[in-house]
Amino acid sequence: MSSYDYVIVGGGTAGCILANRLSASGKHRVLVLEAGGEPNGWWIPIPAGFTKLMVDKRFNWNFKTKPEAGTYQREIAVPRGKGLGGSTLINGMIYVRGQPGDYDAWAETGAKDWNFETLKPYFRNMENYAQGDATRGHEGPMRIHQVTERYPLSNAFIEAAQQDGHALNPDYNGDEQSGFGYYQVAQHAGKRWSVVDGYLKPARGRSNLSIETGAHVLKLNLEGKRCTGVTYKQHGREVTVTAKVEVILCAGSIQSPQILELSGIGRADVLDNAGVRLKHELNGVGENYIDHFATRMNWRMRNTVTLNEMARGWRLGMAVSEYFAKKTGILTLGTGLVHGFVKTNPSLTTPDIQYFFVHASYANAANRILDKHPGMTIGVSQLRPKSKGSIHIESGDSYAMPAIRPNMLGEREDQVSLIEGMKIARRIVMQPAMQPFLEEETSPGVNVQTDEQWLDFARRNGQTIYHPLGTCRMGEDEEAVVDSRLRIHGLSGLRVVDASVMPTMISGNIQGAVMAVAERAADLIIEDAKLIN
């Protein structure tokens, strides 16, 4: 039986960062267990490849929600990255810090010392951002760049937003989030820049770091109230490894609670129903599931060439040639081109809606099939949803998909915010700057006018935008799963470090927040190791 100081379960965003940081001193033996494989896919370095990767079973777990009344019994896709790099291999690369109040809210819920002032240095230290002032980092491992491509339609949309009274904001990750401008993305020299590029590749030559891919974790091993190691399956064979210091669960907001429950850690009724013996009762495991929900409004355009036409025929051939010659053009685009952060109510102190503008529209969004006519999409997402759901196992089979019940639009506050956000998006598009290009609103269509109609559209068409968190939340109350040092309550030798520990939602895409959490977690783990030694 092999033994290591630290066993990291999951080689995604947090796992890659911890692998680098915990092996850096050379003092500790570190093992990373990743169920997926190496990030060797053809499409991974090409930013526009996310459209292929989102439906590729090699790199996506392809989770789905359970049908729920609030979204008219639809199964909704919940993509999660599979392989070293996790979701940074397949996501839209958009980088958002969020608002200071997001992190201050964590402290208010009982997560001691987790606030923006504490996390701000970690954001700066990990960022390598070419633009920006002293509030931004410029020498960190994560390459961040503002989207370089500019199009007449995107410029017109930004101008229309200003005509509607909104500010131009070149850096929403600076002191002020409100306003419109071009997104910042995790890219370098026209290629995707994942945590593998920023953290894992520089560490892979270290003799004290071991990485096992194709390692599907079956359970965490407990002796009394201590986690002693992990059992996983690889190439059809069960393997058990021990952790001298601790096991660190970095499997994400869906699979971290799943692994805990499979190991007998969680709610007694859930485990009993799944046929798993209870070893450590912890009622918060799998609860507090929060995700961003978004609608996509579409328009048919004129007097311009959009991505719909650029991505087919001879234009696509030219775009491919441009990308491989210069690493520019449409293949450098991710899920968003222009950002917008707005307040739907003047009484709010900070934005509650985020927009994702792209000069493209989908005939079939689930399969990423573009319309044949010129099109434009505005994704509308409420920043801080109050609706909470759950994720729980339904059997003791580690290969079975857990039951994901997000309870989207369950709270009236979420409904009102999203409805108002869609109204504002329509109002912006009706401004003078957009009129030379505007043909018609195709979705939801101008016949949708009342709040009831807007809500019906959201329930019928809205999707998660893949930011699940909170299912192993930190705090000190009875429903918290980990304490403020991310240690599992009531157990030793086990921590959780990923988006599942976040008590409340971040105002924007959560990749940056996960990285900051992992960076701070590394410091906490190293501090605790010094106390042991």
Q: If you average pLDDT over residues 154-168, what whole number do you get?
A: 98
Q: If you average pLDDT over residues 54-60, what whole number do you get?
A: 92
Q: Which residue has the tokens 């920006």?
A: 132
Domain termination site, one of 426, 443, 461: 461
113 and 255 in a common domain: yes
The pLDDT assigned to 133 comes to 84
Percent of the chain with pLDDT over 70: 98
Q: What is the pLDDT of residues 258-268, one digit of tens each?
A: 999 999 999 99
404 and 414 in a common domain: no
156 and 56 in a common domain: no
Q: If you average pLDDT over residues 407-427, what whole number do you get?
A: 98
Domain termination site, one of 445, 461, 477: 461
Q: Alpha-carbon dihedral of residues 119, 121, 122, 128, nearest 10 degrees? A: 140
In CATH, what number is assigned to the domain containing residue 40? 3.50.50.60
260 and 297 in a common domain: no
Q: How many domains does the chain have?
A: 2
Q: What would the 3-class secondary structure string for 121-144 be?
A: HHHHHHEEECCCCCCCCECCCEEE
The pLDDT assigned to 321 comes to 92
305 and 171 in a common domain: yes
Q: What would the 3-class secondary structure string for 129-194 be?
A: ECCCCCCCCECCCEEEEECCCCCHHHHHHHHHHHHCCCCECCCCCCCCCCEEEECEECEECCEECC
Check pLDDT > 60 for residue 166: yes
Q: What is the pLDDT of residues 270-320, one digit of tens each?
A: 999 999 999 999 999 999 999 999 999 999 999 999 999 998 899 989 988
Check pLDDT > 90 for residue 128: yes
372 and 246 in a common domain: no
- pLDDT category at 533 given cuts 50, 70, 90 is low
The pLDDT assigned to 229 comes to 98
Q: Which residue has the higher pLDDT, 532 or 75?
A: 75
169 and 240 in a common domain: no
173 and 64 in a common domain: no
Check pLDDT > 90 for residue 106: yes
The pLDDT assigned to 157 comes to 98
Check pLDDT > 80 for residue 532: no
Residue 79 tokens, joined: 């993509």
The pLDDT assigned to 417 comes to 98
Instruction: Look up the domain containing 373 and give its range.
Output: 148-182+293-382+409-461
Q: What is the pLDDT of residues 334-386, one digit of tens each?
A: 989 999 999 999 999 999 999 999 999 986 666 667 899 999 999 999 999 99
Rounded to 5°, angle at Cα 404 from 11 and 420? 105
Q: What is the pLDDT of residues 450-480, one digit of tens each?
A: 999 999 999 999 999 999 999 999 999 999 9
331 and 401 in a common domain: no
The pLDDT assigned to 530 comes to 79
194 and 170 in a common domain: no
d(CA 336, CA 359): 9
Which SS3 state, helix, strand or coil, does residue 488 take?
Answer: strand
Pick from 377, 316, 326, 444: nearest CA to 153: 377
Domain termination site, one of 444, 461, 478: 461
- Arithmetic mean of pLDDT over the chain: 96
pTM of the shown model: 0.96
The pLDDT assigned to 369 comes to 79
Q: Which residues are catalytic?
A: 467
320 and 368 in a common domain: yes
The pLDDT assigned to 90 comes to 95
499 and 445 in a common domain: no
Which SS3 state, helix, strand or coil, does residue 476 take?
Answer: coil
In CATH, what number is assigned to the domain containing residue 418? 3.30.410.40
The pLDDT assigned to 365 comes to 64
